[in-house]
């Protein structure tokens, strides 16, 4: 069963604009992670936020976590063509038995 669900499924924005993707999950977590996948390739880890953290930054990325709403958001500022990819959230549940991925958001950056 899917733990995380991303929203929207697809997003198309103009280069230079900000992109926001959301993730909702169902059970208690130890951490939540965001990954990027370029077409036909493996996933690349972007950022990890622990359950006791509310916000984290890495370069042009900003991640928030609201454990009361069981949701997270990924903001990419000043988007570039190279940001075109699929983005996935993944949750490591509290029993640490597995990491579960959502179905992803496809982001397209228009020049």
Partner 1 sequence: DVKVTQSSRYLVKRTGEKVFLECVQDMDHENMFWYRQDPGLGLRLIYFSYDVKMKEKGDIPEGYSVSREKKERFSLILESASTNQTSMYLCASSLQTGSSFEKLFFGSGTQLSVL
How does DSSP assign 30-44, residue by residue?
Answer: EEEEEEEE-TTS-EE
109 touches partner 1 by CB under 8 A: no
Find the part of the chain contacting partner 1 (CB under 8 A) among 17-25, 44-52, 59-67, 68-76: 44-52
94 CB-side CA count, 13 A: 8
- How far apart (Å, rounded) are the C-alpha atoms in residues 65 and 70? 8
Do 103 and 50 touch, CB atoms closer than 8 A?
no
User: Considering the rule CB under 8 A, would residue 59 count as an interface residue with partner 1?
Assistant: no
Do 73 and 28 form a contact (C-beta atoms < 8 A)? Answer: no
Nearest approach, Cβ of residue 56 and partner 1 (Å)? 13
CB of 111 to partner 1, least distance (A): 26
Choice between 15 and 53, CB closer to partner 1: 53
* Binding-site ranges for partner 1 (CB under 8 A): 1-2, 30-31, 33, 35, 40-45, 48, 50, 88, 90, 92, 94, 96-104
């Amino acid at each position: 069963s899917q733990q995380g669900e991303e929203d929207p499924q697809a997003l198309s924005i103009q280069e230079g604009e900000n992109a926001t993707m959301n993730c909702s999950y169902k059970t208690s977590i130890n951490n939540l992670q965001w990954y990027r996948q370029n077409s036909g390739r493996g996933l690349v880890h972007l950022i990890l936020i622990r359950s006791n953290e509310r916000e984290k930054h890495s370069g042009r990325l900003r991640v928030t976590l609201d454990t009361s709403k069981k949701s997270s958001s990924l903001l990419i500022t000043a988007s570039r063509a190279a940001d075109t990819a699929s983005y996935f959230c993944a949750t490591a549940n509290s029993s640490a038995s597995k990491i579960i991925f959502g179905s992803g958001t496809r982001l397209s950056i228009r020049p």
